[in-house]
Structure 1
Amino acid sequence: MAQTHLILGASRGIGYEFTSQLLARGHNVIATQRAATATGSKLAALQSQYPGGQLAILECDVSSEASILGFVARVREALHRETRTRAVLDVVVLNAGVLVYPNRMSELSFANFSHHLTTNTIGPLLAAQHLLKLSQPEEAAHKPVDIKTLVFISSDSGSTTNFRSFEDGFGAYAASKAALNQGLRHLAAEVHRKHPNPPVVLALHPGEVTTDMAANVEVDWEVKGVIGPEESIECMLKVIEEKGAGGADEGGRVSMAKDGLEEETGAATFWTWDGRRYPW
């Protein structure tokens, strides 16, 4: 059955690959890019391959709260045409992110640090916050929108218990991803307490992916296990299907019980692209 997915940050890299693979599987996709027009973009070219309205392209710049609010309003409008009583976003993937290398803490400028925090932490969390508000619209004329699974693209650089000290030049990036991880965990707990049908919240590490964002980064250590966007997304889609809402291991509860672990109901969980639980 066709699902509806929202990919925030889909103009290139893994966001674009998410969009491409989901469309190929017959799903409907709402994809975002920062530019005001899609003309001439990779997404526009992809949209031309699916002329039946399977792909909708919206503008969203996560560094601007006004842009986020406008985007959320357009999502509501796009889903208002659904025939069901409540509209559904089966999966929301918050993929927007930036890496300006190097970003050493001992050399970091205010602007560089702010750029990483705004794009990697604040923007995605605020976008998720406002999207979740669509489930409880203020006006009766607006159809409620239920989000089943909420996925944040994180990084192993953001783990605080598995600190990667050899990653020279990743200070601001790692701090922004660690802040994202803590923020999404709090968001998951708060939403679980407040919402009657809260989404499953996942953080995913996509692996060491060869994307445009990493193309100009040359490091002094060996990067192990490099994979392409196609492999990363194919594997992450399996993880989302298994760990997301309605999956065989929804929220990781089944595997957690097998491992003898205990975690608060509704807590977010952190996974690698190949389905391994990762330490926060």
Structure 2
Amino acid sequence: MGSVANAAAQAGDMGWVGKKPLRRLGGMADALAIATELGYSIQQEDAVQNAGKNDALVSALRELMVVQRALANLQVELQGRQDDESVSHLTHVSGIEKKCQALARTTTKLKDVIQNKDRIIARLQQPYSLDCIPVETEYQRQFAELLLKAAGDYGALTAAISDLQWTQSFKDPPSVWGDLLRPIPVALASCTRYYEALSAMRETVASYYKRKVQLGSLETPVKDADADCTTPIWNQATYVLDEPTSDDLLLRGRTRLKQINITANEKDWNASPDALQLDAFGDDVKQRRMSWPPSPTTPA
């Protein structure tokens, strides 16, 4: 029996000759291989369907991984930008340039202080500088405010000082002052007379306009416009175009006023108060004295 068992064992060992060695057990592939060797059959359609579903799941997982990786990269970049913003004044080029410029200005000032240290020490050791105004301690604040106010009026103060210096340097006798001031009263009197003449002219024109309005409101027969107003014949040889002067205007106004007074006297006013008031106003205007400024003369 022992020989039979040994032969069977040898025959069993020889039965595995020529076959592939079994892989390490474990995993779905090994389980499927063992099931196939044992005689279990697997339907191909189910395998194809499962493979298609698995491929779709794998594709979705792969896309999800890509999106997650992109989100992680964005998060890292955003965090880096936030950190850069918090330290940009230390790392940014423009911030570094500004700090370099400020440092250069400070260095220049320190160099000036170092170079002029002896002069600064000497001035600090003095009780007050020669080009300064000594002010008591209790009045220093008021004096500083006064200087600030005077700084705004520096131009006017400079002009006033120049005027004072000119008056101090003016050493001419009083006769020269009299010659310089003599034309001023004459000019003022001329201006006064001219203003009075303009006022009289304005009153004359106002009274003329008032008379004209009142005469127009009365019932008067309609006359032919061509009977009173005619256009003279143009003659270039005898007609000279000159601008009227102020004397001509006053003369025309007085003539027109006289004509209006004559026309008003010829009409029957029935002794109305308005008519009497107009007559008194015309007499007052006629009695007003008109004066004009003389021609300016140069003092000898």
- Shorter-chain TM-score category? under 0.3
| Larger strand proportion of the pair | 1
| Larger helix proportion of the pair | 2
Tell me the TM-score normalised to structure 2 length: 0.15
